[in-house]
Amino acid sequence: MKFVLEESKVQLLKERIQKHKQKPGPLMPTLHDAQNIFGCIPIEVQKIISEELDESVAKINGVVTFYSNFSTEPKGKHIVSVCMGTACYVKGAKAILDTISDMLNIEPGQTTKDGLFTLENTRCIGACGLAPVFQIGDKVYGNATKDTAKQAIEEILKSEA
C-alpha cells in the first residue's frame, strides 16, 4: 500500500497542531491526531510535525517508534486485534490468533496484500470477564472461539467481495 499525503488532511493536522502548541507538551496529542487523520505517521508526516513544532525529525521519529499505537506504515482497512492479556491467554487466545493468522495468511503485525486486513495481537483491553476476546475495528467479540473468529472474518470477506 502506498501512502498519499492529502492536502486537506495536512491542513487539518496543522490546525490541530496550532491548538496543541498553546499548551505544554504538545507532541503526544499531535501524534495521536496525526495517527487518526492519516492512519499512520510516515516520515512525510513526521517532517510536517517537525516544522510546525520546531523539533528535529530525529526526536519525533524516536517518539513515534517508541509507542506501539503509532505506526509508520499504512494499516489495512479492517484491523483485527486478538487480545493477548492474561485472562484471554489462559483461556485460549493463542488458538484464535493462529486461526485468523492461518486464514489471512499473515503473521501478527502484518497487513494482507489487498490491504483489507491488518492482524495484531493487542494488550489487555480490559474485557477479561468475556475472555477470550478479539476486536475487528471497534467491535469487540467476547467469549470467542475458533469458529466465531472464522465466522467474523468470513462475514467481512463476503461483504467486501
Min dist CB 100 to another protein, Å, is 15
Min dist CB 3 to another protein, Å, is 20
| 111 binds another protein, rule: CB under 8 A | no
Q: How far apart are CA 156 and CA 46, in angstroms?
A: 33
Q: Which of 13, 16, 17, 26 binds another protein (CB under 8 A)?
A: 26
Write out the three cell numbers for 94.
493463542
Q: Which of 5, 11, 21, 28 binds another protein (CB under 8 A)?
A: 28
Residues between 62 and 81 with contacts to another protein, criterion CB under 8 A: 62-63, 66-70
Instruction: Please identify, among the stretches 9-17, 24-32, 72-80, 108-116, the one whose residues bind another protein according to the rule CB under 8 A.
Output: 24-32
Helix (H) or strand (E) holding 156: helix 146-160
Q: One-letter amino acid identity for 44? A: E
Transcribe 34-47 into DSSP letters.
HHHHHSS--HHHHH
| 116 binds another protein, rule: CB under 8 A | no
CA angle 132, 83, 137 (to 5 degrees): 110
Q: In this structure, are residues 123 and 85 in contact, taking their beta carbons and an 8 Å threshold? A: yes
Compare residues 5 and 28 and give the one whose CB is closer to another protein.
Answer: 28
| 23 binds another protein, rule: CB under 8 A | yes
Min dist CB 7 to another protein, Å, is 26
Transcribe 17-86 into DSSP letters.
HHHHTTSS--HHHHHHHHHHHHSS--HHHHHHHHHHHT--HHHHHHHHHHSTT--SS---SEEEEEE-SH
Contact residues for another protein, defined by CB under 8 A: 23-29, 31-32, 62-63, 66-70, 84-87, 89-91, 95, 122-131, 133, 138, 140-142
